[in-house]
Structure 1
Amino acid sequence: MAPTPSPLSHRPSLITQAPITTGTLGFAIAITIYFWYGHDPGFIPMTPLGFSSEPWRLVTSTLAHGGFLHLIFNLYWLKLFGPLLEERLHPLLVVGLFLTIAAGSGAAQFAVGVGGVGLSGVLYGCFGFLWFASSRVDAFRGLLPQSTIKLMVGWFFLCIIATRIGVLNVANVAHGVGGLMGWLAAWVVLSERRTRPYKTLGYYGLLGLFLLGGSVWRGGLLAAFAGEGYIAYSSGLAEHDGSTAFLEAHGELERDLRGDTENWEDEDWEFIAGRATSLLERFEKESHPAPAVARILYMRAFARMRQREYESALEDAERALTINPNEPGVQPIVDSLQLWMKTVEP
């Protein structure tokens, strides 16, 4: 006898029965490609403008992804979860679910940092909805195998640990808030009609709190939850908010450093060092450089170290610490270079 297939294997047709999921997948691929290679992708990531004149950033920042594996992982799980919701919920409800979870999880992540990219918050929202519903409503019962629940919960905590020890940089707040909002959305949608209006107000009230956290209350939240170096780096970027050129150039340099850099050749690192140098020539002339300039010095120090230009790399790293003593990642470079140079001294 053939084994009974997992409930997740009984998914509706992606294109014909899950058009919202299909569209989201397509937009995610398109936005991500433009984010990587477009000539002007500055409108995509989350910035304070997302809460005023450019609200689309609350959505575009969730559609963009930082790397190929990041994109594939999120597309795979959305392809699994999305159709299960579309088959059982009204299309407008699914659209509203995706948009509110994207906005809430993105705003919450931005409230305690510089924001993230990716659909992970929406994925955990879908997971939270299905987890709540699968044990309470017949139409959803049994959709999530215990193995999937354990995997998603385990991955959530693994990402937190990996972030804490510096192995990965994961938007854990977006994961948690997305899961919470999905769970609460199911609690609202599947509740009795007489209580649904009050629960709906509660859901949108929570969304409003997350939006306030990413805008009005962000300064206090950063001070409470982010490290001093991270705050200084964020403040440095904020000082250049009036300079679109700085933000876009800085973002381009960050994107240049994505990917499998272990296999890069010397000319690749020379290109990065050159890009950083051109930025520094434009924005380091101020008498008191903004802390964000320290990040560019860090990038050039890293590139010069890979080019085996150790003295120049050490000089850049020490200058970065002069501008921002708590700049993330710089002190280990200084320590390792100083130790190496002592070992090679005659």
Structure 2
Amino acid sequence: MPPMPPITQALLLLNVALFCIDIALGESLSRWMALWPLESGQFMPWQVVTYAFMHGGIGHLFFNMMGLWMFGSELEQMWGQQRFIRFYAASVLAAAATQLVLSLLGGWMTPTVGASGGLFGLLLAYGMIFPDRTIMPLFPPIPMKAKVFVAVYGAIELFLGVTGTNSGVAHFAHLGGMLGGWLMIRYWRGQPPFSRGPRRR
């Protein structure tokens, strides 16, 4: 497991702290910070960010934070703090936008919480930057290359989202996070659909 750099550590601590505060307040905080559908009457602009710091249970929190540590730590060390923050924010915002659009189209009225959108963006970046790195996921506990792991998880999320399996999980928001991360990397590299020339900032 990689050492934990400052931004990854701060994100992890903030998520854990807000989870504990939410439990202490009887989950009233998550009702205010969760991402509510546009038509619900409870949507507020800040929710496109704050939802990513709330979680629906200890298992949800644990697996997201473990993924943040595993994939985010090395990416932050490579990119630096500012680029890492921009990338994570792009993934979180893209996941929120995806969920809002699909909630509007599908007539869903349930709120969304969790850092999974940002995490799936980090997962995609890890697979793109370290495609041949061998990793050992918890499920399934089979060593595989990072690019295979990303492809498998992306396919699973797409299948579960289309079939409606495991209802209550925002599978398309996860894919939206991956899309946001992919677009950010393409932007930095100056690849289509963006103009040519790598971004140095």
Q: Quickly name the TM-score band, shorter chain normalised.
A: 0.7 to 0.9
Which residue identity is paired with 1:78? L
Change (3 A) 1:161 1:186: closer
Matched-pair contact (CA < 8 Å) for 1:131–1:183: no
Q: Deviations 1:4-48 (Å, cap 9, x if unpaired)? A: xxxxx4x2x21xxx1111111111112223333425413211134
- Structure 2 equivalent of residue 172 of structure 1: 171
Deviation (angstroms), 1:149: 3.9
Asked if 1:158 is matched to 2:156, the reply is: yes
Deviation (angstroms), 1:63: 1.3
Deviation (angstroms), 1:123: 1.0
Matched-pair contact (CA < 8 Å) for 2:53–2:115: yes
Which residue identity is paired with 2:175? G
Matched-pair contact (CA < 8 Å) for 2:8–2:72: yes
Matched-pair contact (CA < 8 Å) for 2:94–2:179: no
Aligned residues: 176
Matches within 5 A, 1:94-113: 94-113=84-103
Which residue identity is paired with 1:177? G
Task: Note the residue ranges of structure 2 that are not aligned, 5 or more in a row.
Answer: 104-108, 136-143
Which residue identity is paired with 1:122? G
Change (3 A) 1:38 1:153: farther
Matched-pair contact (CA < 8 Å) for 1:156–1:172: no
RMSD: 2.9
Deviation (angstroms), 1:106: 1.3
Deviation (angstroms), 1:130: 2.0
Matched-pair contact (CA < 8 Å) for 1:128–1:181: no
- Structure 2 equivalent of residue 322 of structure 1: none
In 2, Cα distance between the equivalents of 1:165 and 1:187?
30
Q: Deviations 1:214-258 (Å, cap 9, x if unpaired)? A: xxxxxxxxxxxxxxxxxxxxxxxxxxxxxxxxxxxxxxxxxxxxx
In 2, Cα distance between the equivalents of 1:86 and 1:160?
27
Residue number among 121, 128, 135 corresponding to 2:124 in the alignment:
128
TM normalised by structure 2 equals 0.73
In 1, Cα distance between the equivalents of 2:182 and 2:6?
23
Change (3 A) 1:27 1:71: same
Asked if 1:57 is matched to 2:47, the reply is: yes
Deviation (angstroms), 1:180: 1.6
Which residue identity is paired with 1:109? Q
Per residue, is there more helix in 1 or in 2? 1
With CA pairs under 8 Å and 6+ residues apart, which has the higher RCO, 1 or 2?
2
Change (3 A) 1:144 1:191: farther
Which residue identity is paired with 2:53? L
Deviation (angstroms), 1:105: 0.6
Identity %: 22
In 2, Cα distance between the equivalents of 1:157 and 1:187?
21
In 2, Cα distance between the equivalents of 1:188 and 1:159?
24
Matched-pair contact (CA < 8 Å) for 1:132–1:187: no
Q: What secondary structure does 1:87 align onto?
A: helix
Q: Deviations 1:43-101 (Å, cap 9, x if unpaired)? A: 2111349xxx9433112111111122111111111100111111111311111111121
Deviation (angstroms), 1:196: 3.6
Change (3 A) 1:159 1:180: closer
Deviation (angstroms), 1:159: 4.4
